[in-house]
Amino acid sequence: MRQTLDVQIGKNCNYQIDITDSTFAKLNQEIDELSADKNRLIVISKKVHKLYIQYFNFKESELLILPDGESQKNLKNYLKIIEKSAELGLTRSDIIFAVGGGVVGDITGFAASTYMRGIKFVQIPTTLLAAVDSSVGGKTAIDLPYGKNILGAFYQPEKVIININFFETLDKKQFMSGIGEVLKYAFIENSCGYRIPQFLFEFLTLGYEKILACEPLTLIRMIEYCLNLKIAVVSQDEKEGGLRKVLNFGHTLAHALETITKYKKYTHGEAVVYGMFFIFEWAYKQGYISYSYYRLSLDLFEKYGFKPLSQKYSSVELTEIMKRDKKASSRKITFIVPNEKKEVCEVMLPPKKVREM
Ligand code: NAD
């Protein structure tokens, strides 16, 4: 099965996203077709290389294998991609492929955006999180000692190919990290400006057993629904001037939790789930949502085995981190808050209030 989605950003940028369960032989053929008559560089995660290289006919010389982990989304590896591109003699008519999770996608996208002022690149996400989130929408970046995603660019890929067969080797923690971002879309659906109802909340509620069992057609459908919503948002607001902020639902606390634990304790999606639990409880207590919607939401988290955070962290420290977040304004911290069923709104709060939360 293959679903193809079209992304149109502004007048001049459009690309396709394929979501498929076709064979790796077919993926290999598509990569060859996209790079026919071109020089190419394939940036691939070390783990993905080890697991999957047998299925592809990549030449040693066109490969750059990057170590795994958030700490590798750094300047050194960014320069490695630039140097390897130069070594291979890539020009702006050539192409780079990013094969891996969000780390490889983000760093390769950023390198592609700057190499010769921009070279084509294709995202081939191999984690669920990268498939439903980071590979689409054009945010690319690397981390610096001063913070996460400090150096980056909005730069759209030439194509995104999502092959769900990659997910078979994801460990449970990584798969559930992707599910965390999937749940986010269910809670923001009506704020995304997509014309056709996806009923993602209901789909995830009814289909959780098939999703957790990785039933291929259900996974493809789920990714399609999420990406329809993401595409609707980024095509209206590529650079996060307004609407795109809805995608940050759960992320204010998530980023602070990831920072306070130095990106070692929680996956990104897991931290987002804790961020959503937190803001749902606050929204209910403040009267933004009814008890029945609060309860329905908790039920959905529970179906997927998620529980609220039990570990305690210093509210002073968390608030300090949130103040430094690039999404914070000079005096206030921004939260995306549920305010209706499947709808969210932006609420800016002074740090003192956030500490009390
Ligand atoms: P990741 O890239 O670190 O991958 C997670 C782990 O899964 C790694 O150890 C990797 O080796 C392994 N892995 C990858 N594919 C695998 C496979 N098929 N089988 C087995 N193991 C596999 O993490 P991620 O969760 O994919 O992405 C997180 C990154 O994405 C963060 O850096 C985050 O900032 C970024 N992100 C970016 C955006 C965006 O819009 N650009 C959005 C969300 C997150």
pLDDT one-digit tens code per residue, 16-39: 999 999 999 999 999 999 999 999
Average pLDDT, integer, range 40-57: 97
How far is the centre of ligand 1, averaged over its atoms, from the C-alpha of 236 (Å)? Answer: 26
Confidence band (pLDDT; 50, 70, 90) for 303? very high
Q: How confident is the model at residue 329 (pLDDT cuts 50, 70, 90)?
A: low
- Scan for tokens 């969210």, then name that residue: 344
Which residue has its alpha carbon closest to ligand 1 atom 3? 69
Index of the ligand 1 atom closest to the CA of residue 106: 41
**Where is 337: in which H helix or E strand?**
strand 333-340
Q: Closest Cα to atom 38, ligand 1: which residue? A: 134
Q: How long is the chain?
A: 357
> Among the atoms of ligand 1, which is closest to the Cα of residue 269?
25
48 Cβ closer than 6 Å to some ligand 1 atom: yes
Given this model, what pLDDT does residue 330 score? Answer: 62
Nearest to 119 by CA among 94, 142, 97: 94
Residue with CA nearest ligand 1 atom 27? 102
Atom number of ligand 1 nearest to Cα 141? 41
The rounded distance, in Å, linking the Cα atoms of 155 and 148 is 18
Instruction: Specify the ligand 1 atom closest to the Cα of 46.
Output: 11
- The answer to whether 339 touches 244, Cβ cutoff 8 Å, is no
Rounded to two decimals, what is the model's pTM?
0.96
CA distances from 24 to 21, 29, 102, 117, 223 (A): 9, 8, 20, 32, 19
Q: What is the mean pLDDT of residues 271-295?
A: 97
The one-letter amino acid code at 336 reads I
